[in-house]
Amino acid sequence: MPCLFVAGALIVPRLSIAFLWFMTNWFGGIFDSLLWPILGFVFAPTTLLWYTVVQNVFNGSWGIFQIVVMVIAIMIDMSPGSGKKKRRSD
């Protein structure tokens, strides 16, 4: 059961991005090229989602709240790879 929770947590941001990309105009006009949304989808989906929220909802205005949440989003995106435990060889 915990494996399903982890798999769901990793897949939900990507599903949200795919839904927003195909069903809305959420990403329209934010990025100059297609490279950044693809890289964000693969490597940093939570950060990509928050960046688009700031651009669309807050009109691109970066205040202290937006920066704090961006740091949290970056930490969420980086956490699965950095939380590896070392195995003891008995």
pLDDT tens for each residue of 25-55: 888 888 888 888 889 899 999 999 999 999 9
pLDDT at 65: 96
pLDDT band with cut points at 50, 70 and 90 for residue 79? confident
pLDDT at 85: 53
Residue 9: both structure tokens together: 């947590």
Give the CA distances from residue 90 to residues 1, 83, 85, in Å, rounded to whole numbers and listed in that order: 28, 22, 15
Q: Is the pLDDT of residue 90 over 60?
A: no
Q: Is the pLDDT of residue 88 over 70?
A: no
Report if residue 86 sits inside a domain.
no
- Its domain, for residue 37, covers 2-79
Q: Is the pLDDT of residue 84 over 80?
A: no
Residue at 53: amino acid letter: V
How many structural domains does the chain have? 1
Report if residue 6 sits inside a domain.
yes
| Backbone conformation region of residue 13, classed left if phi is above 0, alpha if psi is from -120 to 50, else beta | alpha
Report if residue 46 sits inside a domain.
yes
Report if residue 90 sits inside a domain.
no
pLDDT band with cut points at 50, 70 and 90 for residue 82? very low
More confident residue, 52 or 86: 52
